[in-house]
């Protein structure tokens, strides 16, 4: 049994796609297909049922995958460890994150990381969408807020402090809320399309309260523009609207009520064969973000 062909078979199943596995490994899709067919011929069994829309494992394929994946994971882990100890880190690192995180938080982090490791190349996708890391060959995702994908390994790297702000024009017209309950009588701006409520650590026992969202968007820069146009009260880091605050155009509201911090998490597909470049980047992030103004 050719172990290199078994490794290719495992990578196809992990990515659930010949195309995605070929892109990740940098080889032709036809080559992977031919070599897995050779593996099937050698074993005398069919491992995969192929259709135009999806792949499915036969019982023999499932057994081979379950038995061999942990072995190759451990081998990859050992190989990555040995290489990282002997050579200067090199290669390509693929990261996805929200646009505002990349532009306002991670720009300095990425630049200093690349200066520290000059042989590493970095591909950054700035997008609010939840990228399928395995399917799209992404090494690391940075996400803000609660996590929902239990299939990924998550590590919190920082907590972002957020507060409530409104423009002077909005407050002159609608007045200031005195308590969080008053938000139901105000127009609010949600920085997520699914936003339904806000919570305060020292109000309503920390339970979320209903908020009247006049505008919701999945882009914080757009929310800031809506804030500037007097359309409501927004929740965001102070550094994001610091210029407007210093100019007297934007004011903090409900300052005595504490908004919970928002977690920033690093997500990756597997701890057992973690790309050593991912570990280096996570460690560099944690060190670099310690005093970042967005997180204070």
pLDDT at 52 over 60: no
Q: Kindly list the distances between the CA atom of residue 141 and the CA atoms of 31, 50, 146, in Å, as whole numbers in the listed order.
A: 29, 30, 14
Average pLDDT over residues 9-34: 82
Pick among 3.40.640.10, 1.10.10.10, 1.10.150.530, 1.10.8.60: CATH of 3-86:
1.10.10.10
Q: Which fold has domain 163-253?
A: D-Maltodextrin-Binding Protein; domain 2 (3.40.190)
Domain 91-159+262-295 has CATH 3.40.50.2000: no
pTM higher than 0.75: no
- Domain 91-159+262-295 and domain 163-253, same fold? Reply is yes
**Lowest mean per-residue pLDDT among 79-83, 90-94, 116-120, 253-257:** 79-83
* Domain limits, the chain: 3-86, 91-159+262-295, 163-253
* 135-154 pLDDT tens trace: 788 889 998 876 665 566 77
In tens, the pLDDT along 71-100 reads 877 776 666 665 555 467 888 899 999 888
């Amino acid at each position: 049994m050719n172990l290199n062909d078994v490794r290719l078979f495992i990578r196809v199943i992990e990515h659930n796609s010949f195309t995605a596995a070929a892109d990740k490994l940098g080889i032709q899709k036809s080559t992977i297909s031919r070599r897995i067919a050779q593996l099937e011929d050698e074993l005398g069994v069919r491992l995969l049922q192929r259709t135009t829309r999806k792949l499915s494992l036969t019982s023999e394929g499932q057994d081979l995958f379950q038995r061999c994946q942990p072995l190759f994971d451990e081998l990859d882990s050992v190989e990555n460890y040995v290489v990282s100890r002997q050579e200067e880190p090199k290669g390509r690192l693929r990261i996805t994150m929200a646009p505002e995180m990349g532009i306002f938080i991670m720009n300095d982090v990425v630049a200093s990381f690349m200066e520290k490791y000059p042989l590493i190349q970095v591909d950054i996708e700035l997008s609010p969408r939840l990228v399928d890391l395995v399917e799209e060959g992404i090494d690391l995702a940075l996400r803000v807020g609660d996590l929902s994908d239990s299939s990924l390994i998550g590590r919190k790297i920082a907590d972002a402090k957020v507060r409530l702000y409104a423009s002077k024009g909005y407050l002159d017209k609608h007045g200031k809320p005195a308590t969080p309950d008053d938000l139901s009588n105000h127009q609010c701006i949600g920085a997520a399309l699914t936003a339904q409520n806000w919570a305060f650590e020292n109000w309503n026992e920390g339970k979320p309260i209903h908020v009247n969202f006049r505008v919701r968007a999945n882009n914080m820069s757009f929310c800031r523009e809506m804030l500037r146009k007097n359309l409501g009260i927004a929740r965001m880091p102070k550094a994001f609207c610091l210029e407007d605050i210093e100019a007297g155009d934007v004011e903090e509201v409900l300052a005595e009520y504490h908004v919970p911090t928002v977690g920033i998490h690093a997500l990756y597909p597997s701890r057992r064969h973690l790309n050593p470049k991912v570990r280096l980047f996570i460690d560099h992030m944690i060190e670099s973000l310690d005093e970042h103004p967005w997180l204070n």
